[in-house]
A and B are shown apart, each in its own frame.
Chain A
Amino acid sequence: MPAAAALKVLIVDDQFSVRQMTRMTLEQLGIRNVYESENGKEALNKASVQPLDLIISDYNMPEMDGLALLRAVRGHPAVRKLPFILLTGRGDRELVVKAAQAGVNNYLVKPFTQVTLREKIEQVIGKLS
């Protein structure tokens, strides 16, 4: 059972407020090691140097979007198996299908509550303790 306190999570979103909000929600779940990146490129750099347990990434970002990040992560031997949750908007089924094909572990529809965030994280990496 993964311990929430030990979990290292990277939030990728170009909007500062969304990152902060997600961080706040994660912290409420007891996850203390939260990292942030503004876009896919930055996230990829971070993921290659910082051991992580989970990436939560938005789709729509400049520089490198969430799908491209996902593909890059899956194609990178060091982080290939890193659990990845994609944030999407309402009704973006096409995107979810594409992400599923690219090997996403789960998706999360914005806006989300603490409960759904927990659910999705637990579906991906197991029950949090």
Chain B
Amino acid sequence: MASLDELKRTFFDECSELLQDMETGLTDLQEGSGSEDTVHAVFRAVHSIKGGAGIFGFEALVEFAHVFETVLDSVRHGTLSQTPEVFTVLLMSSDMLSDLVGMSRSGEAIPAGHANECRQALEQLLGKGKPGSSDGAEDAGDFEGLDFKPVPAGGEDAGDFEGIDFTPVQSDNFDSKQSYTITFRPKPEMLRNANEPLYILRELRGLGELNLVADLSGLPPLSDIQPDQPYVAWTATLRTDAPRKAIDAVFEFVVGDCDLSIVEDQPPPVAEAAPSPEVHHETPAAASSAPVAESKKPQPAAEHPEGGKGGAANNKKQATTTRVDLDKIDRVVNMVGELIIAQAMLGQVVQGLSEEVNESLSQVLDQVIHHTRELKESVMSMRAQPVGSVFQRMPRLVRELSMKTGKKIRLEMAGESTEVDRTIVERLADPLTHIIRNSADHGLESPEDRLAAGKTEEGTIHLAAAQRGGRIVIEIKDDGAGINTERVLRKAKEKNLVDQDVTLTEDEICNLIFLPGFSTADTVSDLSGRGVGMDVVRRNIQDLGGRVSLKSERGKGMTIQLALPLTLAVMDGMVIKVGENIYVMPMASIVECLHPGSSEAYNLLNTRGMLKLRGELVQLVYLSDLFDVKSTARGISESVVIITEAGDGAKFGLVVDELCGHQQVVIKSIEDSYGQVPGIAAATIFGNGKVALILDVEKLSELSAENMMPGNAAQPVVASATAH
């Protein structure tokens, strides 16, 4: 059996999901893209957090969630309208709730009154939304007024629950019965909405003694009766001890579809002496706090199983997920990696066999290869997670930043559903947070400055994710002032990060902000000046096998691009050969491979050559030059050109000696042993036990560009990466 601690952990995992649902829902609603179902979903999320928190004994959490829930309930019932002010409080409360969840999770003591401010704001809304809203909000939680005693009347036999039908409200415990006169005239809509008056009357009868008189005056002659029209009205006298609300509830779903009046016949009998204190909750004020007319509009989604699209999507998720420990999936991933290596070994062995044996074995082996690939893909997709889970934390961050800086900031997000390995998603949060902080703090201008610069008062930060060329690219773009290159250069010189007399291009200056020890903040602000610089961001991304690039335009804004691998464990690779050296190139970055004729290659100034490919000139990059290894090919016509596409969409042709084939490779990091090697992403082990380096295609194109700089032409960049 799971231990209590494990259960708590599960509860908090659920909370994170619920908090996300809540936050997404609120944001959708605020932007006007939400529906009634969204309101219900948000309500349900908070309700579930409250329920779980109660069970696990997180009192502070329960208390706050309860007030929050009550407010959401008013929103749900339309008694509190969805104004911007209301959203401000709701969003603030959602932040507070996730704080409280976080504190409860970490076991941090929640200071008394921690949530008070927020709570008061919520209570104020309640005051506005529901006059006299004390409707049981602080109810002790017991309903002794309702008699639930009926124990199996049918006897003590375990199997026999015969006769336990019970009508609890017809209790005679209290002499607090009240008489009501109810007139009820269904309209045609009611039947059309599939509501049956008979059931309603039956339900009413369940509340107490009911005296029913049918008004048949509207009944036409038999020949004129339309079966879908209601003709009968009823006048009922109900004597009950159920609260007025219970009567309203009976008519809850039809209140707009009928003429209805519910009148108390006489003042309630003196009930002060009633033994149960709970009766006091049903003071006239509380009872009338939910007049029939108010409960008319929304019906809780929960009561409508079919729901709308929001509900349906939610349901889908609910019905088809199961919780698996991440360690278990990781074990499978590792096993698949080993399996791929073993399969490659098997392939080698098969090749060495006689033709006859080989043929039948190869067929089987092909199947194994096929299945392994599918296995790998399914396992990888198990680890994959939409980046949205990180993105969703950003709106809150932006709200806080906006509040602290006094700048108006709008956050736009796109591509949240892009999936990437879970480890990457988890480790994206810090870099993204930092970049967005930077944008808000340094990039975006104050509203006044923006207006003066002819921009809109509100600054925009655009956060987008997309899959491109076997990588996921995340872009953080703001429309702020861009990087102040003079200031950056001055700072860099002050800190001796560059030579005093250096001349740098604008781009180069911008990239200085990635240097360790660089911080441009004139004053250490609360936001970005936390000792974490862009160098750490770059380091984090590089640790994930990714790259950071930056573009800035003075006065127009800045774009930071993070390019990340989709997975960290296995990939499809093309095995290539240059001289005696074997490398692996990610399949995803290969556009096509070709044998060019010598007539198609051109030598242009400062390049080793260009290739004319269907009328387009593509720059050639010789792997032998970059890595300073000896090529066996004599001239371009004996080589193979692999056309590849870098993350920015630029094409170039990588010149190698030979293609050796396509295979799955297991990625093994070499960084721990060798550090970052430009142009090399990782290593892999082949079936024969040999190690090959996996190329970092994007970096190769950069390296070649550097290599083409006048004066650099002959310098190998990665001499150290190859045994020479």
Contact = CB atoms under 8 A, between A and B. Distances in A.
Interface stretch (B84-92, B158-166, B417-425): B158-166
Given A60-B51, A62-B318, A64-B305, A100 B156 contact: no
Nearest to A42: B319
Contact of B50 (A59, A89, A123): A89
A93 B152 contact: no
Contacts of A24: 1-2, 4, 7
Contacts of B54: 89-90, 110-111
B7 A90 contact: no
B149 interface: yes
Contact of A40 (B48, B140, B305, B319): B305
A15 B311 contact: no
Contacts of B139: 90-91, 93
A15 B8 CA distance: 12
Contact of A103 (B136, B143, B165): B165
Given A18-B52, A65-B303, A81-B164, A126 B158 contact: yes
Contacts of B152: 124-126
Interface in B1-31: 1-2, 4, 7-8, 10-11, 14
B150 interface: yes
A17 B7 contact: yes
A97 B55 contact: no
A68 B206 contact: no
A126 B165 contact: no
B190 interface: no
Contact of A106 (B8, B51, B148): B148
A99 B300 CA distance: 15
A78 interface: no
A73 interface: no
A41 B165 contact: no
A15 B161 contact: no
Contact of B137 (A20, A53, A91, A103): A91
Interface string A27-57: 1000000000011111000000000010000
B207 A101 contact: yes
A83 B148 contact: no
A100 B302 contact: no
A95 B11 CA distance: 25
Interface stretch (B239-247, B255-263, B480-488): B239-247
Given A6-B158, A63-B318, A97-B169, A105 B7 contact: no
Contacts of A15: 11, 14, 48, 51-52
Interface residues of A, number: 59
A18 B249 contact: no
B281 interface: yes
Given A39-B318, A97-B169, A101-B207, A60 B48 contact: yes
A87 B639 CA distance: 74
A83 B138 CA distance: 29
B219 to A, nearest CB: 29
Contacts of B4: 24
B151 interface: yes
B174 interface: no
Nearest to B9: A17
Contacts of B538: none
Contact of B161 (A89, A100, A125): A125
B151 A124 contact: yes
B151 A61 contact: no
Scoring B11, B141, B142, B243 by chain A CB atoms within 10 A of each residue's CB, the highest score goes to B141
Contact of A63 (B51, B69, B281, B319): B319
B246 A97 contact: yes
A21 interface: yes
A4 to B, nearest CB: 10
Given A65-B302, A100-B167, 15 more contacts: A15-B11, A20-B2, A20-B7, A24-B2, A39-B318, A53-B158, A53-B161, A60-B51, A62-B311, A63-B315, A81-B161, A89-B66, A90-B54, A111-B54, A125-B161
Interface of B: 1-2, 4, 7-8, 10-11, 14, 44, 47-48, 50-52, 54-57, 66, 69, 136-143, 146, 148-152, 156, 158, 161-162, 164-169, 203, 206-207, 242-243, 245-246, 249-250, 281, 300, 302-303, 305, 307, 311, 314-315, 318-319, 323
16 contacts: A1-B156, A2-B158, A14-B48, A15-B48, A18-B51, A20-B10, A24-B7, A53-B161, A60-B302, A82-B161, A89-B47, A93-B139, A100-B148, A105-B166, A125-B161, A126-B156
Nearest 6 interchain pairs by C-beta: A91-B139, A2-B158, A17-B11, A111-B54, A90-B141, A65-B302
